Amino acid sequence: MTVMIATFMEVLDTSVANVALPHIAGNLSATVEETTWVLTSYLVANAIVLPLGGYISSIIGRKRFYLSCVAIFTVASGLCGLAPSLGWLIFFRILQGLGGGGLQPTSQAILVESFPMERRGAAMALYGMGVVFAPIIGPVLGGWITDNYSWHWIFLINIPIGMLSLFLNSALLHDPPHLKRIELKEGERFDYLGISILTLGLASLEIVLDEGQRRDWFSSDLIVFCAITAVVTLLTTLLVEWRKKDPIVDLRLLKDRNFAVSTLMLFVLGFVLYGSMALLPIFLQTLLGYTASLSGQILSPGGLMVLIMMPVVAMLLKYLDTRWLIGTGFVICGLGLFMMAGFNLYVDFRTAMFARMVQSAGLAFLFIPMNVTAFQNVPQNKTSYATGMLNLVRNIGGSTGIALVTTILSRRAQVHQAALSGNMQMSNPAYANMLRGAQQLMFSKGIPMVDAMHKAEGLAYGTLLRQSTMMAFVDTFWIMGLLCVCLLPLLFLMRKTRATKGRSAPGGH
């Protein structure tokens, strides 16, 4: 519960700011597009710190690193709430992201090392319930605070929570005796070069993923420059760090088959989770005309389904091989996405909500078993490195998912629009009859014949756009569903893992 408080606060803050962007834009005299950097800057800073947690913890100690992250996040939250301009808000959000990036992986490392294998699933379930609950209430809480008070309070509420977290963590947390400390010898310097190259690469990659679709990808000079920078710097980081005894990112962890496969699966999990969460509200609000609160009512039961299923999955871990649970999770998640691929412009509220709940039930089967499997053979002194890498991969998967699904949606809509427009010819009897019927109806309402003709054509074109966009949503949901199914063969590459009683994990006490 102690380590969950700070993580809950960090995850909550990621989603709570989304609904306040129009209010922030109006209050700080900026466009909504400019205020999206409030989100992007946080994600970039977050991605930078995720892989560094293990390295920095090994130098200054995990408890000191964790408390520093909580303190930075809390102070930066207060500064965000007091920001006088958009520039200062973005700067303080970067500081907030730097603090928040270390919270989730370090919390997971503490959990993995504090519980033996047979209790680790239950610990991860309780922790996961907090992580899942935060984005459920985030948009609702953010909207309520913004409407009733002001957007400043969505950041200022973190101050008391952060102070409580600092007090509890300083009193209850201790560095484990086996935690390896990197002693910098005389004349040996802190790896400033490695951290700088990695930071530049991850920041460039996040900008490409977050801004790519908005700037039409490689037609933008900024995206081209950032893409080249990301490729060059990240490859250089891999070559340099592979030779080091104590690297910033320990790629040697990927030699373990379970960890490597779990890492790939977590990337896809982030892709599908964030991609579908971005896509479904757009579908509900743009094509079905739902309000933001009504679309939230469709998404929220999915989060509640995860909360209900996580303790069940934690119990099943004691009796079943994790590979069966992961396979079940991807099948159920894929089934939910295929159900969404069956949506049309007349889908009802219950059907949309049920499909989201089915997908979410699958997600509950993935989070805990994947983490248990990934840490099966990770050495005690590498736990922080492993959690940082897994969280980074999941976050990059999420950014990639949002970027690609919005791009696929846009491109497929153009393809379907071009195909359907071929039917809008007067030589097509169905189209001609539709135009005549609409024209006669409008004429009977007192609209002049010429104007009625133009309005009928506009109505037909609007129907074309809605149908082509609907077909693009169907294609995108199908692609994500197939992605889940395509991962199933990878389960055969994993070794058998079960949280059996009496067997301690590598990091258990």
How far apart, in whole angstroms, are the C-alpha atoms of residue 464 and residue 462? 5
First to last CA, the chain: 18
Q: Identify whether residues 386 and 412 lie together within a single domain.
A: yes
How far apart, in whole angstroms, are the C-alpha atoms of residue 491 and residue 493? 5
- Flag whether 249 is in a domain: no
Among 121, 141, 175, which residue terminates a domain? 175
Q: Identify whether residues 65 and 207 lie together within a single domain.
A: no
Of 252, 256, 258, the residue nearest 497 (C-alpha): 258
Q: State the pLDDT at residue 43.
A: 74
Burial of 219 (0-12, 13-18, 19+ CB in 10 A): exposed
The per-residue pLDDT of the chain, averaged, comes to: 79
Q: Does residue 500 surpass a pLDDT of 90? A: no
- Flag whether 184 is in a domain: no
What is the mean predicted confidence (pLDDT) over 351-370?
88
pLDDT band at 32 (very low <50, low <70, confident <90, very high): low
Share of the chain above pLDDT 70, in %: 86
Q: Identify whether residues 98 and 223 lie together within a single domain.
A: no
Containing domain of residue 58, as a range?
A: 1-175
Cα–chain center distance at 286: 22
What is the mean predicted confidence (pLDDT) over 274-301?
78
Q: Identify whether residues 269 and 150 lie together within a single domain.
A: no
**Token pair for 395:** 């976050």
Give the tens place of pLDDT for each residue, 194-204: 778 888 888 88
- Flag whether 428 is in a domain: yes
Q: Identify whether residues 274 and 400 lie together within a single domain.
A: yes
- Flag whether 206 is in a domain: yes
Q: State the pLDDT at residue 221.
A: 86
- Flag whether 508 is in a domain: no
Q: Identify whether residues 326 and 231 lie together within a single domain.
A: no
Q: What is the DSSP string of 281-330?
A: HHHHHHTS---HHHHHHHHHHHHHHHHHHHHHHHHHTTTS-HHHHHHHHH
Share of the chain above pLDDT 90, in %: 9
**Token pair for 463:** 């129907």
How far apart, in whole angstroms, are the C-alpha atoms of residue 331 and residue 359? 9
Residue 167, CA distances (Å) to 73, 103, 161, 164, 399 in order = 15, 15, 10, 5, 33
Q: Identify whether residues 160 and 41 lie together within a single domain.
A: yes
Q: State the pLDDT at residue 508.
A: 36
Q: State the pLDDT at residue 183.
A: 57
Q: Does residue 4 surpass a pLDDT of 70? A: yes
Cα–chain center distance at 56: 24
Q: Identify whether residues 295 and 320 lie together within a single domain.
A: yes
Give the tens place of pLDDT for each residue, 312-337: 888 888 888 888 889 999 999 999 99
Phi, psi of 120 (to 5 degrees): -65, -35
Among 175, 201, 222, which residue terminates a domain? 175
CB neighbour list of residue 10: distance below 8 Å, 6 or more residues apart: 73, 100, 103, 104
Q: Identify whether residues 122 and 209 lie together within a single domain.
A: no
More confident residue, 443 or 96: 96
Range of lowest pLDDT (246-260, 343-357, 464-478): 246-260
Of 476, 475, 468, 478, the residue nearest 414 (C-alpha): 468
Q: Identify whether residues 165 and 217 lie together within a single domain.
A: no
What is the mean predicted confidence (pLDDT) over 398-416?
83
We report the CATH number of the domain holding residue 489 as: 1.20.1250.20
Q: Identify whether residues 225 and 369 lie together within a single domain.
A: no
Among 204, 220, 243, which residue terminates a domain? 243
Polymer length of the chain: 509
More confident residue, 102 or 70: 70
pLDDT band at 502 (very low <50, low <70, confident <90, very high): very low
- Flag whether 185 is in a domain: no
Q: Identify whether residues 19 and 168 lie together within a single domain.
A: yes
Q: State the pLDDT at residue 506.
A: 38
Number of domains in the chain: 3
